[in-house]
Amino acid sequence: MNLGDRKKLILQAIIEDYINTAEPVGSRTISKKYLTGTSPATIRNEMADLEEMGYIEQPHTSAGRVPSDKGYRLYVDEIMEQKRLNDVQTDLIKKQFLDTLGEIDRLVKNASKLLSQMTQYTSIILTPQLKRTSVKQIQLLSINNKTVLAVIVTDAGIVKNCVLRVMSDVSSELLEKLNNMLNSKLVGLCMEDLQSLSLDDIARNTMPHGEIIEQLLPELIQTLIYSDTVDIHLDGAANILNLPEYCDIQKAKSFLNVLEEKELLFNVLSKSDSDMNVSIGTENQYEQFHNCSLITATYKINGKTIGSVGVIGPTRMEYSKVISIVDCMTHNLSEILTKILKG
């Protein structure tokens, strides 16, 4: 299983050259640019071995070699050296977050934009999800006599609004009572708990306002749950058209179409639970990504995972660079979000 050192060097050369050029790389190139001490013929022999082992492939007889998914995997796991971001890049990311105090969604979207700019691939990002966060405070406000606004603050510091319509008028005293009641019943519950919450549990103990509660609560909960549908945000979709593998309009189109399947992206991204995940070509669960690679990572508030970001690119991706960037990004994002929460 363990390749010889020279084989590794050759595989590394093939992969890194292919990442740069998108052209099959031949023995002569390697001999000239990477292993200057070794003749093409020797390299050819090694390459034949590497091909037999499945790390590289030949598009056609008279072409150079191209890395296979298996090859990229070995490269990511064992060969590539983790590139460190230079200070300029790190600062860029940090500065980005300093500029974006304010709404969390905007923060997250800006992160996505920067991510696509820095990587030159397509970035996707999942806006914070509240499932695992709990209700900290609820405040009902009367908008007009038939409309009530519920503001919910979660322990992750995220604020959600629900506009609720009620049949009968709600006086301000009643509103306050309802408010207290809701707080006493719901505070501390996480979004998931809300889903399974039985209406009876609440209504039973609040006879006087039973009918209002019965009207209001389901709508409140439903809106909350519904509004928890996280948003997928994309950036840099056009970047992929710079890549030679998408010079074929058909391929470009199918790629872009995949990017518009928001549910698919959601699944892919929300599945990623480990801190950093690299999925190469056919390793990917979904067929649509079989000739892409996907690097995903999660970001957290107070240690709780609440969202994730990802970069989609060709299997010929600058893994080392992208991983560093995504890593730096999620860490900064987590840090700033946690800081915002704590005030």
The binding site for its own copies (CB under 8 A) comprises 102-103, 136-137, 139, 141, 143-144, 146-147, 149, 151, 153, 157, 159, 161, 163, 165, 223, 226-227, 235-238, 241-242, 246-247, 249, 252-253, 256-257, 259-260, 340, 343
**What are the residue ranges of helices labelled H in the chain?**
5-21, 27-33, 40-52, 69-74, 87-99, 104-119, 172-186, 191-195, 199-204, 210-227, 249-260, 262-271, 319-342
d(CA 208, CA 32): 86
Closest by Cα among 53, 55, 132, 101 to 300: 132
Reported as half-sphere exposure (CB side, CA atoms, 13 A), residue 329 has a value of 32
Give 261's strand partners.
none
Alpha carbon 242 to its chain's center = 22
With CB under 7 A as the contact rule, the residue among 2, 36, 61, 172 that binds DNA is 61
Exposure letters 59-86 (e unless 16+ CB within 10 A, then b): eeeeebbbbbbbbbbbbbeebbeeeebe
Quick check: 223 binds DNA (CB under 7 A)?
no
Q: How far is the CB of 209 from its own copies (least distance, A)?
A: 20
Q: What is the closest distance, in whole angstroms, from the C-beta atom of residue 30 to DNA in the complex?
A: 8
Give the rounded distance of the alpha carbon of 80 from its chain centre.
23
| Contact partner at residue 167 from DNA, its own copies, none, CB < 5 to 8 Å by partner kind | none
Q: Which of its own copies, DNA, none interacts with 290 (beta carbon under 5 to 8 A by kind)? A: none
To the nearest whole angstrom, how small is the minimum distance from the Cβ of residue 192 to DNA? 53
- 62 near DNA, judged by CB under 7 A: yes
Task: For strands 147-154 and 159-165, give the pairing.
Answer: antiparallel
Q: Which is nearer to DNA, 29 or 284 (CB)?
A: 29
For the CB of residue 28, give the shortest distance to its own copies in the complex, in Å. 30
Asked if 38 interacts with DNA (CB under 7 A), we say yes
The answer to whether residue 48 forms part of the interface with DNA (CB under 7 A) is yes
Q: How many CB atoms sit inside 10 A of residue 205's CB? A: 12
Q: In this complex, which beta carbon is closest to DNA, that of residue 61 or of residue 172?
A: 61
Residue 65 interaction partner, one of its own copies, DNA, none, beta carbon < 5-8 Å per kind: DNA
Helix axes 5-21, 40-52, angle to 10 degrees: 90
The separation between the first and the last C-alpha atoms of the chain, rounded to the nearest angstrom, is 53
DSSP state of 274: S
Q: By CB under 7 A, is residue 254 in contact with DNA?
A: no
Nearer to its own copies, 38 or 142 (CB): 142
Nearest approach, Cβ of residue 179 and its own copies (Å): 11
Task: Assess 26 for contact with DNA (CB under 7 A).
Answer: yes
State the minimum distance, in angstroms, from the CB of residue 191 to DNA. Answer: 53
Alpha carbons 149 and 141: distance in angstroms, whole number: 5
Is 42 an interacting residue with respect to DNA (CB under 7 A)? yes
Only segment of 25-33, 195-203, 217-225, 305-313 that touches DNA (CB under 7 A):
25-33
For binding to DNA (CB under 7 A), which residues are involved? 23-29, 37-42, 44-45, 47-48, 51, 58-65
